[in-house]
Amino acid sequence: MKNENLLFKPWAELKELQNRKLHWFVTTKVYPFSPYYRALFDKNKIDPDSIRTVEDLRRIPFTTKADLVRMSGEGKTRDLILQPTEQLIKKYLPKAELLKIAAAKLFRGKEYLKESLEKEFRPIFLTSTAGTTTGQPMPFLYTAYDLENLKIYGKRIVQIFGMETDETVVNLFPYAPHLAFWQVFFAGTEAGILILSTGGGKTMGTEGNLRSILKLKPKLLVGVPAYVYHLLKEARRQNLDFSFVKKIVLGAARAPVGFKRKLAALLKEMGSSDVQIFGTYGFTEARTAWPECPTDISVMSGYHTFPDREVFEIIDPQTGAPAGEGQDGEIVYSSIDSRGSCLLRYRTGDFVKGGITCAPCPHCGRTVPRISSDLVRASNIKDLQISKIKGTLVNFNKLEFILDSKAEINEWQIEISKKDNDQYEVDEISLFVNLLRDENRAEFAAELNRQLLAETEVTFNKIEFVSHQEIQQRIEIDSAVKAKKIVDKR
């Protein structure tokens, strides 16, 4: 369903629709045509017809990042792709679906049927993960059907952001087989909005991006938080007029309230007041992103999901048990309307405080489930040997939040290493930091470590103050897909 009004329907109606689509998707697409999930269902003696509600999904074992890595190592990533054949169609499709195919063949012809099936199921496009969590990029393939869905998602995102067709956008995401770039591209084509895609710092350089922005005068900028911040700082340094910028959309990394305030302060100095700054949440495996609602910068409205296209669960990360509405836990994703690479009950490794709520959004009135904006990535929770006795789990998401919220800090990088470069020694955490203005460095370092100790129970072993040029080189702001803010050298 493409109708935007769908997202305003009562949640009871949306949930009923979600259950119907889930059952249809499992019985007519996933079980018949997915080698991986058909084998998983058969191994666990799961009747696909028994999956009729979201609650029934719990019968299906989780799919994890470790499963994807194993499949990649065995050369079996194709097993996640829906692969219909004449034999599988005849063997597994319900009779109602077989009648639809027979009617299409009879009234439209064999060639029409062949072309429609190829359009629905033949992979023609891919994006891939960055490989930061699994150690290797993982490809996820799209068919023409999936690309149409990507356009639908994009148009919905544009509508949630309240954008009009006469607005212009500069897309600062890097050119790459990266979901964020292509979601913006297809959002523009479907919504009829003029978008200039610069490729980020690596392609045109920061100066090239600034020249393009001054010529086009876009109302909205979209990109990775660290690069958008870098670009705006350079624009302010050059005393440029950015009064035409009214909205910033951030993706591919977390954007806490303190960081949004930094961006707003920069833009205010360049003539743009009352700017709106939105976060988005997305991951390559889902092949879409979900937007926050336009609100005051200090308010995190939650990521608006699309229940006619997916199912989200929140689980206890230790036991796998379902969490209640509004409870903390790990995000689990299932597609109910995709082709190409398809996933059911995929453990994202992302943890959310506040879970999911199904109450209508108090800002826009949409009735879709909303994921809390307070997200942390599992890849940023690291086991550190800070003593010779045992390891300690350290949540670097919390450290990021504190550092990004510090008004004194310009840029930073955390480095994890072994003491004295000895593999048998304890782990050390160092901070390389560039300040926005002159500060008493000893007092700043002491106060920062006091705050860290109170909120995270760890402190930096070393805080090194570096120049603006050195920190830019360290985080590779102009060349990396994502700024390298945490570097593990162990």
Digit-coded pLDDT (tens) for 263-301: 999 999 999 988 999 899 999 899 999 999 888 887 788
Question: Residue 379: is its pLDDT beyond 90?
Answer: no
What does the pLDDT read at residue 472?
87
Q: Where are the domains of the chain?
A: 395-488
Question: Could you report the per-residue pLDDT of 418-432, keeping only the tens digit for each?
Answer: 877 767 566 888 999
pLDDT digits (tens, 9 = 90+) for 164-209: 888 899 999 988 888 999 999 999 999 999 999 998 887 888 899 9
Q: Kindly calculate the radius of gyration of the chain based on its CA atoms and give it in whole angstroms.
A: 24
Average pLDDT on 32-43 reads: 97
Res 149 pLDDT > 90? yes
Would you say residue 386 has pLDDT above 80? Answer: no
Give the pTM: 0.80
Q: What does the pLDDT average to over 29-45?
A: 97
Backbone angles phi, psi at 297, to 5 degrees: -55, -35
pLDDT band at 31 (very low <50, low <70, confident <90, very high): very high
Mean pLDDT of 372-389: 61
pLDDT value of residue 266: 93
Mean pLDDT, residues 339-345 taken together: 97
The predicted pLDDT at position 378 comes to 61
Select 395-488's CATH number: 3.90.1300.10, 2.40.128.50, 3.30.300.30, 3.40.1710.10: 3.30.300.30
Q: Residue 74 pLDDT more than 80?
A: yes
pLDDT of residue 388: 41
pLDDT bin (cut points 50, 70, 90) of residue 1 is: very low
Report which of residues 390 and 213 the model is more confident about.
213
CA distance 310 to 156: 14
- Rounded to the nearest integer, the mean pLDDT of the chain is 88
218 pLDDT tier (thresholds 50, 70, 90) = very high
**Can you give the pLDDT at residue 454?**
81
Span 344-349, average pLDDT: 95
